Structures are given as structure tokens and as C-alpha cells.
Amino acid sequence: MLLKDIVEALQLTVFSGKTNLEKEVTGGIISDMLSDVMAQAKKGALWVTNQTHENVLAIVFFKSLAGVILPGGLQLDEQAAAKAIEKNLPVLQTELSAFQVVGKLYDLGIEKSE
């Protein structure tokens, strides 16, 4: 499934990376532990996290993730927001809780990043 299809299905707000939504989502991961994501996320995974700092974007870039979803109305901090725009990284936002987001992703057929 393409990232743009998930954006539409979940009615996500695209903060950055609007021209980079044609990525194939290969799985998902939910974690606020950066080391966990570094160890487990695979290329093309979609990450759900409550973390909003610049290190999140470094992991999205380094691991070639499809993007990151910030649940619960969270927004990137100022420095991270500038970096997300500069690097054109898909950062998606929603008012849904992380629990709700992951349930909806699972319903769409997105499973654990393998």
C-alpha cells in the first residue's frame, strides 16, 4: 500500500514530505524507544511515535522508513520541523491516539515491520 493511500484512509495531516508520498509501506512499528526502532524497523516501515524531536527524523532518514505518524495532535519541535521540511521527510499528524492509529493501520493490512 502506498503512503498516500494511508494518508487518505486515515485522514492524516501531512506536515512535511508532501511530494514524497508515493512510497510503498512495507510494515509498521510503534515505539517511543529510538533504539527499538533502530533495531527492528525495516526499510519502508511506517513509524508511530510520541517523540517529536530531531532524532526521530534522523532515524526515518537513516532507516529509509516510509514516514512517521505523530498521534494525539502532537507536533514536531521547532528544530525538528525545520529539518523535516528541509529533508522532505513524510511527517504525518492526527488527533487519533496511537492506539487508534495502529488499529486502523492493522485494519488496512499494515502489519509488523518484518
In a domain, 63, yes or no: yes
Mean predicted lDDT score pLDDT of the chain = 96
In a domain, 42, yes or no: yes
Overall number of domains in the chain: 1
pLDDT digit string, tens, across residues 16-52: 999 999 999 999 999 999 999 999 999 999 999 999 9
pLDDT at 71 over 80: yes
- What type of residue sits at position 55? N
pLDDT band at 112, cuts 50/70/90?
Answer: confident
Whole-number pLDDT of residue 113: 66
In a domain, 114, yes or no: no
Length of the chain: 114
Q: Say what the pTM is.
A: 0.95
Burial 88-109 (b: 16+ CB within 10 A, else e): ebbbbbbebebeebbebbeeee
Contact 10, 101 (CB under 8 A): yes
What is the arithmetic mean of pLDDT over 71-91? 96
Residue 77 exposed, middle or buried by CB count within 10 Å (0-12, 13-18, 19+): middle
In a domain, 66, yes or no: yes
Domain that holds residue 49: 3-107
Whole-number pLDDT of residue 111: 87
Whole-number pLDDT of residue 80: 96
What is the arithmetic mean of pLDDT over 80-87? 96
In a domain, 61, yes or no: yes
Q: Phi and psi for 32 in degrees, rounded to 5? A: -105, 0
In a domain, 112, yes or no: no
Whole-number pLDDT of residue 114: 64
In a domain, 100, yes or no: yes
Whole-number pLDDT of residue 12: 98
